[in-house]
Amino acid sequence: MRLVLVGPPGAGKGTQAQFISAHLSVPQVSTGDIFRANVSQGTPLGKQAREFMDAGDLVPDDVTVAMVHDRLADEDARKGFLLDGFPRNVPQAKTLDGLLLEMGTVLDVVLELVVDDDEVGRRCGHSWHVDFDPPTREGICDNCGGELFQRDDDQPETIRHRLEVYYVQTAPLVGFYAEQGILVGLDAMGPVDDVTDRAIASLRPFSRT
Ligand code: AMP
């Protein structure tokens, strides 16, 4: 299955991406994770991306698209993938359609994680301590089941800006994919496991195996 996850920062996208890709046995391709790995290794790509990430802005499309192009050409992504964090705007989505066309394939489904705005702020605001107050499950808040972050771009100002960037640049993808008839809305409120179960159930009709 070739799948894209879309949702605002703090909707639990990274966590769901992990569980859903494991369930579908497809690689999880998270552009944010790839950028972060490059930043921490100090690669040229990381140096290019860092200032945009720290500001909560999108890394320029040419840089991002080249990275995704290379990743999708890897052997493990030939039969399917789950894209998390890409595309992030309509131009990236159009480029992705072109890349897939070259590969002789198309996206099967786009899953939109739907949460209310309050929840987004609340989840983003959660904090815990790695050593003194760790959550029961790594990366998941014991209180609300939301995704936990420990990132340089998690300062309150930057969170607000990333939300703005999401609504202005990324949210139009919902209409773009609805028009293609491949958008599925997922109620992403509530405990993580329940959301995963709902996600898997809603993807079943799109499975080709
Ligand atoms: P994420 O972990 O998906 O929230 O991504 C963290 C940061 O990486 C974002 O705030 C952007 O700066 C950058 N990033 C991730 N994916 C993309 C993308 N598809 N296009 C541009 N920038 C991206």
pLDDT tens-digit map of 60-89: 999 999 999 999 999 999 999 999 999 999
pLDDT of amino acid 153: 66
- How many other CB atoms are found less than 10 A from the CB of residue 130? 10
- The yes-or-no verdict on residue 176 having pLDDT over 80 is yes
Q: How many whole angstroms from 209 Cα to the centroid of ligand 1? A: 31
User: Mean pLDDT, the chain, as a whole number?
Assistant: 88
pTM > 0.95: no
How confident is residue 35, by pLDDT bands cut at 50, 70 and 90? very high
Question: Does residue 102 contact residue 175 with C-beta atoms inside 8 Å?
Answer: no
Residue nearest to atom 19 of ligand 1 (CA): 86
Mutate to test the pocket of ligand 1, among 13, 16, 34, 35 (most ligand atoms within 8 A of CB): 35
Is residue 141 within 8 Å of 191, Cβ to Cβ?
no
List all residues 6 or more positions away from 145 whose beta carbon is below 8 Å from its beta carbon: 12, 190, 191, 192, 193, 195
CA distances from 170 to 8, 46, 62, 89 (A): 8, 22, 17, 5
- Stronger pLDDT, 189 or 124, i.e. the higher one: 189
Atom of ligand 1 nearest to the CA of 86: 19
In three-state secondary structure terms, 4 is strand
